[in-house]
Chains A and B, each alone.
Chain A
Amino acid sequence: MTTPVHLPAGLPAWTLRAAAALACGATGVVLAANGVQGVALVLFALVSAAAVAVPASAAPALVIGMAAITTAFTEGDPLRPSVLVLLPLLHLVHLTSALAALVPPRSRLHVSALRAPAGRLLLTQALTFTLVGVTAFLPEHGTDPVVEVAGLATAVALAVAAVVLMRPRG
């Protein structure tokens, strides 16, 4: 038995872009607090603006990549607070950009549509922070080359599997 759904007005879809802009802004603040400044920060702001304006482009990937690489090559503890803050922020940039790219800017957004991705975001972050916790307890000395090669092979296999599975069937 199905129940008819009466269409409510919903929220303006630019709230997704606003959320993406907020996530980008917060990422920029974290980067600035992490010592990034000058041209790099201006460049990051420009790419962020492009990501908010055109979410269905390479700009969100550039935002995430720039933030990740810049933070990774900044001195400090690998599990320092700025890294832990950026983990959900960058995921949020990715998710809001992905959803904003589905509809035109003047669309209507129904909050009920966001329940499933929000739950998945929380679950993904829980798994990620579990990984962070595991990392915190791992010994800090160098890894054997065999383990590194095995990890790389696993990553490549994952990429290949993703490419194979995304091919159209039939």
Chain B
Amino acid sequence: MSRADRIKAAFTRPAGWRATDAYARAVLLGVGLVVLGSLLHQVELVLFGAPFVISVLFALATRPSGTPTVTVRALPRTAEPGAATTGIEVDPASGTEFLAVRLPAPGTSGDLGPVHLLPATTDPIVVKLRREAWGDGVDLRADHLFAGPDGLLVHGPEVGVERGRVVLPPVDALPAGLLPARAAGLVGVHRTRRPGDSTELRDIRAFQPGDRLRRIDWRVSLRSPTLHVREHHAEADADVVLALDTRLDLGSSVADWSTGHPGRTSRPGGSLDTAVRAAASLAAGYLQQGDRVGLADLGRPQLGVRPGIGRRQLLRLRNQLVVCARSAGWAPKPVLNRHQIPHGALVVVLSPFLDDHVVEVAIQAARRGSLVLAVDVLPTDLRPDTETPWGAGALRIIVLEQRTRIAALKQHGVAVVPWDERGRSVATTLRHANRPGRPVVR
């Protein structure tokens, strides 16, 4: 045996059932007190040792054997925020009396939970999992230990297999009026400049070869020497591209901007958290209306999702938002190329706008003919770093620079709104953009 093997063996418990300190104590005190009492003719010592001898005899009579196991039922890969239920199958060996297993406690959230001391049972244990924070996470790790009568013999402890889920970003119901109303089941809700078959009148013009006879406006034609037809607008879907700035994840406290947030996909209440929630809500709203929605990661363009429709697209987008947040971090420059944005698409840029590059890509997208909406996700309640005398001044400079960038965006025709109260400002801005004469789809 090599030296490494000897060291490893010294720090590794042998597999199987083993005696505990309590067993050694019961044997030592039981036998020791009885023998000592007998030798010294002290009846009290014999009587004191008797319960320990009896408890050891009980333990030996029901000596556990075999290999007990704990099996956790598989969890779904993705889940909605909130509660879920799973089960644990226990196969206790014969003679096992206790099961100590780490399980989430009822009413707790986002924790592996405490160890529960339970009677060893073959009945499955129902476990309620609860996680409100979206993103990756470990929900269950059933570390376990089995024990025999009075805890004199134990099997384990063994570290359980980690069972995790991807909790998708929640979808908030957007306020009424954010998106144009439409009857469900139709394709295309947005009026275009092209002639088509909608019910909205576009023009009345002279009859041309190829025009359908049912389009003739007889009232106008009777009053004029030539036939006239009624021309209607065409209706089409809108392409929406949600451009997510994953290069920064900033919370309210400026002092924490350079620190990480271990164990979580994003900083709770931070700019990335807000941006992802806003993107999920906007995507759900537009997809429910029948529009095509895509995703662009400004920091990692390869993580983008091409525009698509339907519930599967919403699921794909919410999954990809988690993927983007998982790989969020520094990137040299934001990227929003021409091929990422379909012509005439509505581009929603979600960013804290703390650098000039993201302003440039937003303005370039507007120059290419897209309607660009910038959503400012920088926390409004910023707190300066109190550990340095320059904290307040630095925060002031940051805020002023951000205001300058937002002013530059507005000068180039890009509407800038904060994400507040579940998109109330975004709703107002889009309602303004959807007024007659300002079609979303060009």
Which single member of B50, B60, B98, B115 contacts A131 (CB below 8 Å)?
Answer: B50
When the two chains form their complex, are residues B47 and A155 in contact, meaning their CB atoms are under 8 A apart? no
When the two chains form their complex, are residues A135 and B43 in contact, meaning their CB atoms are under 8 A apart? yes
Residues 150-161 of A, flagged 1 when their CB comes within 8 A of B and 0 if not, give 011001101101
Q: Does B33 contact A (CB under 8 A)?
A: yes
CB distance from A53 to the nearest CB of B (A): 14
From B20-28, B162-170, B227-235, B414-422, give the one contacting chain A.
B20-28
When the two chains form their complex, are residues A99 and B117 in contact, meaning their CB atoms are under 8 A apart? yes
CB distance from B8 to the nearest CB of A (A): 18
When the two chains form their complex, are residues B106 and A115 in contact, meaning their CB atoms are under 8 A apart? no
Q: Do A155 and B34 contact each other (CB < 8 Å), given the known contacts A94-B22, A113-B117?
A: yes
Identify the interface centre among A3, A10, A123: most chain B CB within 10 Å of its CB.
A10
Contact residues in A for B118 (Cβ distance below 8 Å): 110, 112-113
Contact residues in B for A135 (Cβ distance below 8 Å): 43, 47
When the two chains form their complex, are residues B55 and A120 in contact, meaning their CB atoms are under 8 A apart? yes
When the two chains form their complex, are residues A166 and B38 in contact, meaning their CB atoms are under 8 A apart? no
Q: Does A128 contact B (CB under 8 A)?
A: yes
Q: Do A98 and B20 contact each other (CB < 8 Å), given the known contacts A7-B106, A91-B51?
A: yes
Q: Name the residue of chain A whose CB is nearest to the CB of B99.
A: A113
Q: Does A81 contact B (CB under 8 A)?
A: no
Q: Do A3 and B114 contact each other (CB < 8 Å), given the known contacts A108-B105, A155-B38?
A: no
When the two chains form their complex, are residues A7 and B125 in contact, meaning their CB atoms are under 8 A apart? yes
When the two chains form their complex, are residues A112 and B119 in contact, meaning their CB atoms are under 8 A apart? yes
Contact residues in B for A155 (Cβ distance below 8 Å): 31, 34-35, 38
Q: CA A94 – CA B20 in complex, angstroms?
A: 12
Q: Does B293 contact A (CB under 8 A)?
A: no
Contact residues in B for A113 (Cβ distance below 8 Å): 98, 117-119
From B11-19, B348-356, B359-367, give the one contacting chain A.
B11-19
Q: CA A56 – CA B157 in complex, angstroms?
A: 14
From B148-156, B186-194, B200-208, give the one contacting chain A.
B148-156
Which single member of B23, B100, B123 contacts A166 (CB below 8 Å)?
Answer: B23
Contact residues in B for A161 (Cβ distance below 8 Å): 60
When the two chains form their complex, are residues A102 and B56 in contact, meaning their CB atoms are under 8 A apart? no
When the two chains form their complex, are residues A103 and B52 in contact, meaning their CB atoms are under 8 A apart? no
Contact residues in A for B128 (Cβ distance below 8 Å): 7
Q: Do A9 and B151 contact each other (CB < 8 Å), given the known contacts A4-B125, A68-B45?
A: no
When the two chains form their complex, are residues B149 and A128 in contact, meaning their CB atoms are under 8 A apart? no
A82-125 CB contacts (< 8 Å) to partner B: 83, 86-87, 90-91, 94-95, 97-99, 101-104, 106-110, 112-113, 115-117, 120, 123-125
When the two chains form their complex, are residues B21 and A57 in contact, meaning their CB atoms are under 8 A apart? yes
Q: Name the residue of chain A whose CB is nearest to the CB of B102.
A: A107
When the two chains form their complex, are residues B20 and A101 in contact, meaning their CB atoms are under 8 A apart? yes
Which single member of B32, B44, B115, B151 contacts A101 (CB below 8 Å)?
Answer: B151
When the two chains form their complex, are residues B29 and A64 in contact, meaning their CB atoms are under 8 A apart? yes
Identify the interface centre among B16, B58, B118: most chain A CB within 10 Å of its CB.
B118
Q: Does A71 contact B (CB under 8 A)?
A: yes
When the two chains form their complex, are residues A120 and B47 in contact, meaning their CB atoms are under 8 A apart? no
Number of interface residues of A (CB under 8 A): 73
When the two chains form their complex, are residues A125 and B51 in contact, meaning their CB atoms are under 8 A apart? yes
Contact residues in A for B53 (Cβ distance below 8 Å): 158
Contact residues in B for A101 (Cβ distance below 8 Å): 20-22, 151
Q: Name the residue of chain A whose CB is nearest to the CB of B51.
A: A91
Residues 55-68 of B, flagged 1 when their CB comes within 8 A of A and 0 if not, give 11010100101000
Which single member of A94, A115, A125 contacts B52 (CB below 8 Å)?
Answer: A94
CB distance from B35 to the nearest CB of A (A): 5
CB distance from B299 to the nearest CB of A (A): 40
When the two chains form their complex, are residues A78 and B22 in contact, meaning their CB atoms are under 8 A apart? no
Which single member of B25, B43, B98, B150 contacts A120 (CB below 8 Å)?
Answer: B150
Residues 108-150 of B, flagged 1 when their CB comes within 8 A of A and 0 if not, give 0000001111110111111110000000000000000101011
Which single member of B21, B48, B122 contacts A72 (CB below 8 Å)?
Answer: B48
Q: Does A5 contact B (CB under 8 A)?
A: yes
Q: Does A69 contact B (CB under 8 A)?
A: yes
When the two chains form their complex, are residues A72 and B45 in contact, meaning their CB atoms are under 8 A apart? yes
When the two chains form their complex, are residues B27 and A162 in contact, meaning their CB atoms are under 8 A apart? yes
CB distance from B120 to the nearest CB of A (A): 9
When the two chains form their complex, are residues A110 and B29 in contact, meaning their CB atoms are under 8 A apart? no
When the two chains form their complex, are residues B121 and A5 in contact, meaning their CB atoms are under 8 A apart? yes
Which single member of A68, A102, A125 contacts B48 (CB below 8 Å)?
Answer: A68
Q: Do A78 and B123 contact each other (CB < 8 Å), given the known contacts A98-B20, A148-B38, A159-B27?
A: no
Which single member of A4, A64, A104, A116 contacts B97 (CB below 8 Å)?
Answer: A116
Other than the given A65-B29, A128-B50, A155-B34, 13 more pairs (CB < 8 A) read A6-B126, A7-B127, A10-B105, A13-B114, A73-B42, A87-B48, A101-B21, A101-B151, A113-B117, A128-B47, A128-B51, A155-B31, A155-B38
A–B complex contacts, Cβ < 8 Å, 18 sampled: A8-B106, A10-B116, A10-B117, A58-B25, A60-B22, A68-B29, A91-B51, A94-B22, A98-B151, A102-B154, A109-B117, A115-B119, A116-B97, A128-B50, A128-B54, A152-B38, A161-B60, A165-B60
**9 tightest A-B contacts by CB?**
A98-B22, A78-B43, A68-B48, A107-B115, A72-B44, A98-B151, A91-B51, A61-B25, A159-B31
Residues on B lying within 8 angstroms of A by beta carbon are 14, 16-23, 25-29, 31-35, 37-45, 47-56, 58, 60, 63, 65, 87, 97-98, 100, 103, 105-107, 114-119, 121-128, 145, 147, 149-154
